Structure 1
Amino acid sequence: MPIDAAKALAAEPRTAEIGWDSRDVQLYHLGIGAGRPATDPAELRYTLESRLQVLPSFATVAGTGAPGGLSALSLPGVEVDLARILHGGQSLTLHRPLPAQGRATATGRLAALYDKGKAAVLVLRTDVSDAEGPLWTNDSQIFLRGEGGFGGERGPSTRLEPPTGAPEQVVERPIREDQALLYRLSGDWNPLHADPEFARLAGFDRPILHGLCSYGMTLKAVVDTLLDGDVTRVRSYSTRFAGVVFPGETLRIRLWRQEGSVRAAVSAVERDDAPVLADTFVRYA
């Protein structure tokens, strides 16, 4: 079905009340590989309720069903086939540190719609506030394969010049065989990450890991190695999903510290450093 850009962009924002608690936070942290070694004090900050801090990327799953995420893809003027969706990029702005439990109002809308020729790109924005004010803003860039050519604007290029020089840190993070099955319990039920038959329909020989799982694993590596384990220093975090990664592989995370920010490049070790995340920035205080 052709995209009706005018109808999609004119759609009213959607608002929902969301909530989360420490169990949701702990499950998310386990889903991105926290808790290894289980008794490490640095890991207990992510897994033990009495010491719990919240990695900012939890905002991508907090209050599953919030109106601006992948669950919002049933938009007026846009018909979506889950087998043709690719998550192209993600950006997160923190307005203040995330609490381990809370209730908030999430307002989601289609912020932009671009025509890339062979694909359409949706930019889905979610603004989340609680009684004390704004908490975070999430932007998801979603590629709809085969849905371009509707005559819309092509949109800006998001490609950045790669960092130069040797990285300050190189971190490797193994991905468990069941990592996608655990991560999806935080709310992304796309069968692409669990069902082999569905994955084959989408062009993959087996289920792939959620891009947002790699996204969370990378932010945790940045916090743990370059930000003294202090999640409250993160101000914003953005990436472009450059390629897939499969459960059972290993992420190689290269980090370059710049003034007030960290650049990261993430690849899959077992496939000759095939790119996974690119154009990745963490801004910090």
Structure 2
Amino acid sequence: MPIDPARALAAEPRTAEISWDHRDVQLYHLGLGAGIPATDPGELRYTLESGLHVLPAFVTVAGGGKGIAGGLSGPGLDIDLTAVLHGGQTVRLHRPVPPVGTAVSSTRVAAVYDKGKAAVLVLRTEASDAEGPLWTNDAQIFVRGEGGFGGERGPATRTELPGREPDKTVERYVREDQALLYRLSGDLNPLHADPEFAARAGFDRPILHGLCTYGMTLKAVVDTLLGGEPARVTSYTTRFTGVVFPGETLRIRLWAEDGRRVRAAVGAVERDDAPVLADTVVEHH
């Protein structure tokens, strides 16, 4: 079997030193659509190096975002990348991410679940600097055709949305060039830029990175319900349920709960609110 769960789980973590500076953070924010209007004080916190705030979702690309790619090529894993889907993402912050930093990043397979027709790998990346832990980043990766080995199914991740109208609903336009800009933060998969490659993958045109939608949604939460303060976020999780095409509009519905949590549901407006993110929760203080 291409996936050997016992070997994958027992493998030594892959470690690397990563670094970033304000330019990496600014480029990431611009890739999420920050900076419109360019002189808006609320946008300048993401685009101007003086007083720069860091959206916690930046950790998915810090150091070039190589944790997932490296994790999929470890011991016990012989995976056809065409069978791989990014199923979900969780980021837990141990303290606010600085706009300039150096850290040691460690990536390992934290879990292997058996979903019947697919296996799910949880690739866990932990980063620490001289002052201690910074973040823990879990990517849930579906590998089609690799289930049925008799393993645990894993925890349920589905959550119910509140039975009331959203507290806020915002729309965010995805620019035609947004995937081209976002990919410069590290994910150069041609699926997001090359029409011929996208066609071979079964799409009419290149699609937006799921992690770009992930970042755009967190920015909407921070700007709308957290007073524009990214440092208030302590964790952020989502499940990817559909694709987004550049040129579409995201409709982001938000529910505030208990002063500590925001639930979100995200759909593509032009396709009758076809869901693209579900089971999305931002924990904050």
Q: TM-score, normalized by length of structure 2?
A: 0.96
Tell me if structure 2 keeps the 8 A contact 1:108–1:124. Answer: yes
How many angstroms does 1:192 deviate by? Answer: 1.7
Instruction: Output the amino acid matched with 2:142.
Output: F
Instruction: Output the amino acid matched with 1:136.
Output: W
Instruction: Output the amino acid matched with 1:96.
Output: R
Q: Distance in 1 between matches of 2:140 and 2:207?
A: 18
Match of 2:19 in 1: 19
Unaligned runs of 5+ in 2: none
Greater mean deviation of Cα atoms: 130-139 or 198-207: 198-207
How many angstroms does 1:232 deviate by? Answer: 1.0
How many angstroms does 1:69 deviate by? Answer: 2.4
Q: Distance in 1 between matches of 2:131 and 2:92?
A: 17
How many angstroms does 1:153 deviate by? Answer: 2.1
Match of 1:173 in 2: 172
Tell me if structure 1 keeps the 8 A contact 2:249–2:269. Answer: yes
Whether 1:262 aligns to 2:255 is no
Unaligned runs of 5+ in 1: none
Match of 1:47 in 2: 47
How many angstroms does 1:224 deviate by? Answer: 0.4
How many angstroms does 1:118 deviate by? Answer: 1.7
SS at structure 2 position matched to 1:76: coil
Identity among equivalent pairs (%): 74
Tell me if structure 1 keeps the 8 A contact 2:65–2:187. Answer: no
Q: Distance in 2 between matches of 1:188 and 1:140?
A: 14
Q: Distance in 2 between matches of 1:82 and 1:118?
A: 16
- Matched ranges for 1:19-168 at <5 A: 19-66=19-66, 68-168=67-167
Q: Distance in 2 between matches of 1:32 and 1:121?
A: 28
How many angstroms does 1:124 deviate by? Answer: 0.4
How many angstroms does 1:150 deviate by? Answer: 3.0
How many angstroms does 1:65 deviate by? Answer: 4.8
Relative distance call for 1:65 and 1:283 in structure 2 (3 A) is: closer
Instruction: Output the amino acid matched with 2:151.
Output: G
Instruction: Output the amino acid matched with 2:157.
Output: T
Relative distance call for 1:250 and 1:71 in structure 2 (3 A) is: farther
SS at structure 2 position matched to 1:128: strand
Match of 2:3 in 1: 3
Tell me if structure 2 keeps the 8 A contact 1:82–1:190. Answer: no
Q: Distance in 1 between matches of 2:59 and 2:99?
A: 11
Q: Distance in 2 between matches of 1:117 and 1:265?
A: 27
Instruction: Output the amino acid matched with 1:11.
Output: A
Match of 1:195 in 2: 194
SS at structure 2 position matched to 1:253: strand
Relative distance call for 1:2 and 1:71 in structure 2 (3 A) is: closer
Greater mean deviation of Cα atoms: 74-83 or 112-121: 74-83
How many angstroms does 1:283 deviate by? Answer: 0.7
Whether 1:204 aligns to 2:203 is yes
Tell me if structure 1 keeps the 8 A contact 2:106–2:125. Answer: yes
How many angstroms does 1:200 deviate by? Answer: 2.5
RMSD: 1.3
Relative distance call for 1:180 and 1:219 in structure 2 (3 A) is: same
How many angstroms does 1:85 deviate by? Answer: 1.7
How many angstroms does 1:271 deviate by? Answer: 0.3
How many angstroms does 1:195 deviate by? Answer: 2.0
Tell me if structure 2 keeps the 8 A contact 1:84–1:202. Answer: no
Q: TM-score, normalized by length of structure 1?
A: 0.96
- Matched ranges for 1:245-260 at <5 A: 245-259=244-258, 260=260
Q: Distance in 1 between matches of 2:153 and 2:10?
A: 19
Tell me if structure 2 keeps the 8 A contact 1:2–1:150. Answer: no
Match of 2:223 in 1: 224
